[in-house]
Each structure stands twice: as structure tokens, then as C-alpha cells.
Chains A and B, each alone.
Chain A
């Protein structure tokens, strides 16, 4: 572990940008134009990427960098620092987030050029970068949670960026609420860990086991191992914690049953969809599971849940993607599906493979989304693929980058997506520590891979081939260099990522990324596998061939149905199976089911609570009010009649007595003198005869 004082700059610089353009953005934009905003908000993420790269170079082999700012929370034996740490996994994430994020900032200069809320957009985007980097680089679970909530907030702000449109505002709200459900799971998992690791309540006092207690990622593995046999309600507490944390991941990373917000999140600006809802934020759940790998390896149940949910989501979302016409919706369901792959990876114990897919996906999916954004701009904000076609001729850069990203996502061995997805599928087949046989997971993923190839190429053919369309009387134009350069850079990135994951099967050495990440995932080495390391080459070759085969099948099917947009077959096929088509086209009516059960249920519950509140609680409150008023009336009466009566009576008495006694004051000196003499006489008589003082 190496101390440094640079790490805080990585999230700090985007935060500075967010604050600057958030507080000063409006006057700056009015005074100096949008260039001023771009200068601040685009350069700072690049600076952040520079610092991340510098720290990455300094990263010791197999070690980590550590940057402690100050003690954040100190309660008894628990001390939580505001500290950042960079180990291989977070280095990979920080580099990917800051690089892809910075590229998308550049792209946004072009995409948002005509928007009034330019400064607001960049402020939110910078804030997102800050939160995401905080999530990635935070040294402890609590700091990670802060970033976790921060990215959720930014997601909400950016989905509803065009808030004047009710649909967007609702989509933002939906994302936020669904994320909150997941976050609740995360929080429960966190508290379970806190409870089970830190100590126990005994005799009314909180005792720390052995005096060691920490939420730091470096200390957690040992603490978790010590708690491996603890039980709660007859269930191993690590299983519970793992599953609850995974619920949080489900919310953030859009897995069944909490995936419904992601397709709606496409209401936001397209660069946001690319950055937040494809490349970075939605992978936070995968990152978290990979980060907590030492916990999951103790619990086959939790791992099985993760892998199964991932596999089912991958297939389920892929089937929906097949029938979507909105280009962004296709990509959204594709994202859900690819996230499912990542969860297969981390669920079957191949944490590095899941992380690798996360990395490659960040590049090719960001590229796909940005190409879609380019197309949407060229089509004057038309997103329906049925109204597109023939764009390949006029938009060559967009076309070929999209083409390459399709190659990557559908898994052909000339792009990075192939290596990551294939490693995941093989490791799923290879998994021996789950409660279901590995080949079931593999099969689900395998079918989903075919569907992925089909719907991605379908979107490619529908958009870029066939007769050219015209928009507003002229042909769609290729975009400005600020946009196309970013597309090219991401495509190059998607290609370059291949080299760090070439499997051992092809070379003599294990993949570089696996070697690089191995120190973080050392806990996974003990997991049971079907094949011993180095064995099973035949099966691996076979699975690889099958993957390429099904990807080709998907491509061929898409080619046959949609190439050139001449075929009548898709319509006839749909007409042949109207029910099935309608079911899938309407996304299995999941939104409607949620609407009638969960949403209606909650609304009903809230109405019931409202009724209870307005009738029963308010009744009680009003009763108390009435009683208080009654008491006050009695009190007032006592005050008015008894107390005031006594006071007024006394005053009346004094007035009357004064009226009588004033006659004594005649004002004549002789009267007073007579009184004086009489007084002296009385005094003398009294003292002489009655008191006898002279005796």
C-alpha cells in the first residue's frame, strides 16, 4: 500500500467543474457564450482522467494507492475515513469512467449546442462524474454508498433534464423511485454487515469482537471470513447481506425485477443515455458485487441468485429488444441484457470476466448510443427506426463506427466484446460452486447471445441500409467533427480493449487483465470449478465455436429479414404469431403488471393511509384541540370572573374609600393645626393614662 495525495483530485476536479458551472454557469453563459462553460466543464474531466492515468502509472505491482483526507465519522471503535483507494479494480474503473466520461463530455458540446440549459447540463454531468468516481475510488462501503446515491440523483436530474415535458419528468421520477427500492436493499445489506461484523448486542451493550472494526475494503475480507458461520434467522448472515446488496445492484444495474426504469430513462439527452445509462452508472452494481467478491465467495446461495438473475435478465431483455422500433429502446434493452452478462460473470465467480465485460461494454455501448445520437440529430429527433434507412451513404463515420460496435456486441472475434462475453460464458459453463449446474446459466446466456446479434444487426440494417430517406426535404447530414471524432475514439477503444483480454487458449499466458486484477479477486481462487485450471481446452474451443456460430446465425437472420429493408418477411412472421408478437412487443406487459400491482397497491395504501390520517389521526388531533379549547374556556372564565373580579373589586373599594376620606384634606392650615394639637393631646393622654410610660 502506497500513500499518495493525488487521488482526491480525481473526483475533486469534476466536482469543481460542477460547482463552477452550477453556480456561475448562467451568468457565464450569458456573458461569454457556451464556450466558457465548455472550457470549464469539459477540461476538468480530462484533467481528472490525466490524474487517474498518472496514479495508474504509479500503482505498485499487485498493490494499491491510498489517500486519506480526514476522519469522517468516529463512533466508539468505528472510524470511517474520508479516504480514497486505488487498487487494480478501481484503477480500471476510474480510467474507464474518466476516459469514456470525458469523451462524452466532448460529444455533448456538439449534441447540446443549441440547448438553453447548456450550463445546467454540464453541471449535472460533472456532478455525475464526481459521484461515479467517488463510488469507484471510495475507500470504504459508506463512501461508496454516498457515491451510489449521488449517481442516482444525477441520473434523476439528467433523465428529467427537459423537465417541461411531462413524460421526461415521469421517467426521471420512475428511475429515482425504482432506484430507491434498490438502495433500500443496499442499505439493509450494509447494516447487516455492520451488525454481523462489528460485534454483538450483549447485556444491553454493544461489544466489539476482538476490538477490530472497520468498513474499509482492505480490512473487510478478514472480518467477513471471521463471520462466515454467523446465522440470522437460520440463514447465514453473509448470504443475507449478499442478497440484500445484490438487490441494491439490481436497482442500480437494471436487473429483473427492477429493470423497468432503464428503458424509460432514454427520455434524457442521448449522451446521458450513453454515459450514465449504458457505460458507467448502471455498471455500479456489477462493480459493487466484484468489489465485495470476498463476501460472495462465502455464499453459494447468493452467488447462484446473482448468476441466475443475470442470466434470466440477459435472455428476457434480449427478447424484448428484438421487437422494439425506437433505436434508443433497442439499445436500452440491449444494455439490460449485457448487464445480465456481467452479473453472470461475477455470479459464477469469474469476477475478472464480469469486470472485463463491464470495461468493453463501456466502450462499445457508449459508441452505439452516441452513434444513435448522431442518427437522431440527423433525423431531426426522430427515433423510430421504421422511418430511417439508407443513412449509411450520407453518414459514413457514424455508419462504420456503429457497424464496428455491432461487431463487438454480437461477439465476433475481431472486437473486444467477443473476448469478454466468451470468457463469461465459458466460466459459467465451468462454474462448480453454484447450486444449479453451470450449463443452465451458460445456455440462457448462449441463447441471449444469438438474440443480441439478431437485434443489433436488425437495428443496423434498418437504420443504415435500404432506400435513402429525406428529412425536411434534404438528406440527413454527417455530424460535425466534435461528434465523429468521439465516435471514432470509442470504436478504437472497443478494439484496443481486445488486447488485454485475449484468452490463455490463444496465447501461452493468462489474459493481462486477469493477471492485473488477480490481487483483488484472490478470494475467488478457492472456488470449485468443473475443469482444473489449464484443462478443458476442448470444451472451451467448442463453446467458442458455438458462440461464433450463434452470432453468425443471428447476423444471417437479420440480414435475411432486414437487409436493404426489401423483405416482407418480418411483417408476415409477425402476422403469423400475433399473440406472441403482441406480448413481446409490449414488453411482456411488465410495466402494466407493476402498475396494477405495485404502483396501484402503493397508491391504494397511500390512499388508505391518507384516509386514516384525515379521519382517525386528524380526528384525534381535533379532539385534543377541542378539549384544549374547553379547558381554555374554563380557565378564561376563572380569570375573567374570579381573578379580574378580585382585582377590580379591590380597586373599587379603594376608590370609594378615597372618595370618603378626601374630605379630611380641607386645605386649611387651621384644620391641620387643630388636628396636630388633637393628635398630640391624644398621644399624651394615651401614653400618660393607658400605657403608663412615665412610670
Chain B
């Protein structure tokens, strides 16, 4: 039986973060990018809860993560609303094409 310690959580969280970051950087679909952002957020949340479980104050870490989940929900609302607005305007959600703000 493998003992699951802090390192495992951190490795999983780092992987999760890298997946999310890759998703954000390489995908062109706005929804996919939003998903990538959610992954990054949850990687951070996983880190927080792991540190709380293994090293520090369980209560405050838990509270942080709860806030993080709420924040992610709010962010998803705003992000999806933006994506819908972009879609209405461009009939597309490919962010490579929405470059009207270029200098």
C-alpha cells in the first residue's frame, strides 16, 4: 500500500496546472481556454487543501478553497457571458480571429 503524502498531491496539482496552462496557451476555442483556466484554479485549490491537510491550519485552507470554488463559478459566469457576446458579434468563438483590438 502506497502511502499518499504531500508530494503526491503537489505532483498531481503541478500536472493539473501544466495541463491547464497548456490548454490555455495552445487552444483557440474560447470555451477550451476557460476550461484551462478552471484547471489552473483547481490546481491552486488542490495545493491549498493539501498544505492545509499536511502542514497548517486546516480551517483557513478549507475556507480559501471554498472561496476559490465560488470565485471559479463567478468567473465562469462572466467568462461565458463574454464568450456569448463575442459569439453574437463574430458568429465564432475562435480567439485567433477576434483580434480587433490590435495596435
A interface vs B, CB < 8 Å?
661-670, 673-674, 677
- B100 contact set on A, CB distance < 8 A: 667
* Residues 69-103 of B at the A interface (beta carbon under 8 Å): 95-96, 98-103
User: Which A residues lie within 8 Å of B33 (CB)?
Assistant: 669, 673
A468 vs B25: C-alpha distance in the bound complex, in angstroms?
A: 137
B99-A666 in contact (CB<8A): yes
**Alpha-carbon distance between A279 and B25 when the two chains are bound, in angstroms:** 119
What would be 25 A-B contacts, judged by CB atoms less than 8 Å apart? A661-B103, A662-B103, A663-B103, A664-B103, A665-B101, A665-B102, A665-B103, A666-B99, A666-B103, A667-B99, A667-B101, A668-B95, A668-B98, A668-B99, A668-B102, A669-B33, A669-B95, A669-B98, A670-B25, A670-B28, A670-B95, A670-B96, A673-B25, A673-B33, A677-B25
What are the residues of chain B within 8 A of A666 when measuring CB–CB?
Answer: 99, 102-103
A431 CB → nearest B CB, Å? 114
Minimum C-beta distance from A196 to chain B (A): 92
Please name all residues of chain A whose beta carbon is closer than 8 Å to the beta carbon of B102 when the two chains form the complex. Answer: 665-668
Closest to B101 in A: A667
Which residue of A has the minimal Cβ distance to B28? A670
A572 to chain B, nearest CB (A): 123
Q: Once the chains bind, are B25 and A667 in contact (CB under 8 Å)?
A: no
B48 on interface, CB distance cutoff 8 Å: no
Q: What 8 A-B pairs come out closest when comparing CB atoms? A: A665-B103, A667-B102, A667-B99, A662-B103, A667-B101, A669-B95, A668-B99, A666-B102
Chain B binding surface, main DSSP class: loop
Main secondary structure of the interface of A (DSSP, over half): helix
Chain B positions 55 through 68: 1 when the CB is less than 8 Å from some CB of chain A, otherwise 0: 00000000000000
Closest B residue to A674 by beta carbon equals B25
- Tell me, in angstroms, the Cα distance from A217 to B25 when the chains sit together: 112
Residues of B within 8 A of A673 (CB): 24-25, 33
B96 & A668 in contact (Cβ 8 Å cutoff): yes
Residues of the A chain whose Cβ atoms lie less than 8 Å from the Cβ of B103: 661-667
Residues of B within 8 A of A667 (CB): 98-103
Minimum C-beta distance from B82 to chain A (A) = 11
In the bound assembly, the distance between CA atoms of A663 and B24 in angstroms comes to 22
Residue among B28, B96, B101, B103 having the largest count of chain A Cβ atoms under 10 Å: B103
- Considering the complex, give the chain A residue whose CB is closest to the CB of B37: A673
**How far apart are the CA atoms of A162 and B34 in the complex, in Å?**
106
Distance A665 CA – B102 CA, assembled complex (angstroms): 5
A97-B29 Cα distance, complex, nearest whole Å:
117
Most buried by A among B21, B33, B99: B99
Q: How far is the CA of A622 from the CA of B98 in the complex (A)?
A: 71
Contact (A677, B101) CB under 8 Å given A670-B28, A670-B95: no
Minimum C-beta distance from A611 to chain B (A): 74
Q: Select from chain A the residue with minimum beta-carbon distance to B99.
A: A667
A664 contact set on B, CB distance < 8 A: 103
Q: How far is the CB of A654 from chain B (nearest CB, A)?
A: 15
Chain B residues lying within 8 Å of A662, measured Cβ to Cβ, are 103
A664 to B102, CA, bound (A): 8
Measured CA separation A666–B100 after assembly (Å): 9
CA distance A668 to B95 in the complex (A): 7
Q: Which A residues touch B21, using CB under 8 A?
A: 677
Chain A neighbourhood of B99, CB < 8 A? 666-668
- Distance in Å: Cβ of A60 to nearest Cβ of chain B: 106
Chain B residues, CB < 8 A from A665: 101-103
Kindly identify, within residues 1 to 28 of chain B, every residue whose CB is under 8 Å from any CB belonging to chain A: 21, 24-25, 28
Q: How far is the CB of B43 from chain A (nearest CB, A)?
A: 14
Q: How far is the CA of A673 from the CA of B33 in the complex (A)?
A: 10
Interchain nearest-CB distance for B14 vs A (Å): 14
- B37 to chain A minimum Cβ distance, whole angstroms, is 10
What separation, in Å, do the CA atoms of A248 and B25 have in the docked complex?
Answer: 111
User: Which residue of chain A lies nearest to B96 when distances are taken between CB atoms in the complex?
Assistant: A668
Closest to B102 in A: A667
Q: CA of A673 to CA of B21 in the docked complex: distance in angstroms?
A: 9
Q: How far does the alpha carbon of A674 sit from the alpha carbon of B95 in the complex, in Å? A: 14
What CA separation (Å) do A661 and B33 show in the bound complex? 27
**Within the complex, what minimum Cβ distance (angstroms) separates A81 from chain B?**
87
Q: How far in angstroms is the closest Cβ of chain A from B90?
A: 13
Which B residues are CB-close (under 8 A) to A677?
Answer: 21, 25
When distances are taken between beta carbons in the complex, the residues of chain A under 8 Å from B98 are 667-669
* B20 to A: closest C-beta gap in Å: 11
In the assembled complex, the Cα of A663 lies from the Cα of B96 at a distance in Å of 16
In Å, the complex CA distance between A76 and B24 comes to 96
User: Would you list which residues of chain B between 25 and 46 have a CB under 8 Å from chain A?
Assistant: 25, 28, 33
A661 CA / B103 CA spacing, docked (Å): 9
CA of A665 to CA of B99 in the docked complex: distance in angstroms? 10
Q: Inside 8 A of A674's CB, which chain B residues have their CB? A: 25
A669 and B100 CA atoms in complex are apart in Å by 11
Taking CB atoms, residues of chain A closer than 8 Å to B25 are 670, 673-674, 677
Give A667 to B101 CA distance when docked, in angstroms: 5
A6 to chain B, nearest CB (A): 96
B54 CB to closest chain A CB, in angstroms?
A: 20
Complex-state Cα separation, A669 to B33, whole angstroms: 10
B24 contacts which chain A residues (CB < 8 A)?
A: 673
A145 to B82 CA separation, bound complex (whole angstroms): 97
Return A655 CB to nearest CB of chain B, in Å: 14
CB of B87, distance to nearest CB on chain A (Å):
14
Q: A665–B25 Cα gap in the complex (Å)? A: 17
How close is B24's CB to chain A, nearest CB, in angstroms? 6
Which residues of B are found within 8 Å of A668, using beta-carbon distances?
Answer: 95-96, 98-99, 102
User: Which chain B residues lie closer than 8 Å to A663 at the CB level?
Assistant: 103
In angstroms, Cα B100 to Cα A677, docked, is: 22
Q: In the complex the two chains form, what is the Cα distance from A666 to B96 in whole Å?
A: 10
Chain B hits for A661, CB < 8 A: 103
A664-B103, A674-B25 given; 17 more Cβ-contact pairs under 8 Å? A661-B103, A662-B103, A665-B102, A665-B103, A666-B99, A666-B103, A667-B98, A667-B99, A667-B101, A667-B103, A668-B99, A669-B98, A670-B25, A670-B95, A670-B96, A673-B24, A677-B21
Closest to A669 in B: B95
In Å, the complex CA distance between A670 and B26 comes to 8
Instruction: With CB as the reference atom, state the residue of chain B lying closest to A666.
Output: B102
